[in-house]
Amino acid sequence: DDSLYREFGEKPGLVKITDDLYDKLLADPRTQPYFEDAPIKRIKQKLVEQFCVLLGGPCEYTGRTMKRTHEGQNIDRAAFNALVEDLQDAMDKNGVPFHAQNKLLAKLAPMYRDVQDRE
Ligand code: HEM
C-alpha cells in the first residue's frame, strides 16, 4: 500500500521536503554544527531513499546503517528533537497532511536508539 507515499507527493515531494529540511538544519543553531561539513548531496539522496521505503514507496535504501552512520557524532536527545522539529516544518511547508506527518514521525522515533551516542 503506497497511499502514505502518495500523500508525501511521491519522489518529487520527498526531494523537496529533503531540500527544505537540509536548509533548516543548516539554519538551526542546534543542528548546524553537525551538518556544516557533512556530505550534503549524499545525505539528501540517502534520506529520500530511506523515507520512501518507510512510507511504502517503490524504493530501496542503499545507505549505511543508522548506527554505523551516526556513531561518534555525539548526537543526544536535544539534537534529535531539533531535527524532528525541522522535519515537521519542512513537511508543513510542503503541505503533507498532519496524520501522514505523524505516521512518518512514529517510524523515526524508535530510530533514536541507533542514532544517539549519549542520553
Ligand atoms: C531518525 C532520525 C535520523 C535519520 C532517519 C537519519 C538518516 C540519515 C541518513 C540516511 C544518512 C546518510 C547515510 C549514508 O551516508 O549512507 C545520515 C547521515 C548523517 N546524519 Fe542522520 N539521521 C537521523 C538523525 C540525525 C541527527 C539527529 C543528526 C544530528 C543532529 C544527524 C546527523 C547526520 C550527519 C552529520 C550525517 C552525515 C554523516 C557522514 O557521512 O559523515 N542525523 N543520516
| Dist. CA 74 → ligand 1 center (Å) | 12
**What is the DSSP-derived secondary structure letter of residue 109?**
G
Closest ligand 1 atom to the C-alpha of 47? 10
For domain 3-115, give the fold: Globin-like (1.10.490)
Closest ligand 1 atom to the C-alpha of 115? 24
Cα–Cα nearest to 86, from 2, 3, 27, 6:
27
Closest ligand 1 atom to the C-alpha of 63? 16
Model-level ipTM above the cut of 0.85: yes
Is the pLDDT at 118 greater than 80? The verdict is no
Name the grid cell of 69: 552512520
Q: Is the CB of 116 under 6 A from ligand 1?
A: no
pLDDT single digits (tens) 78-111: 999 999 999 999 999 999 999 999 999 999 999 9
Domain boundaries, the chain: 3-115
The confidence score (pLDDT) of residue 119 equals 53
Dist CA 63 CA 116 (whole Å): 18
pLDDT single digits (tens) 59-83: 999 999 999 999 999 999 999 999 9
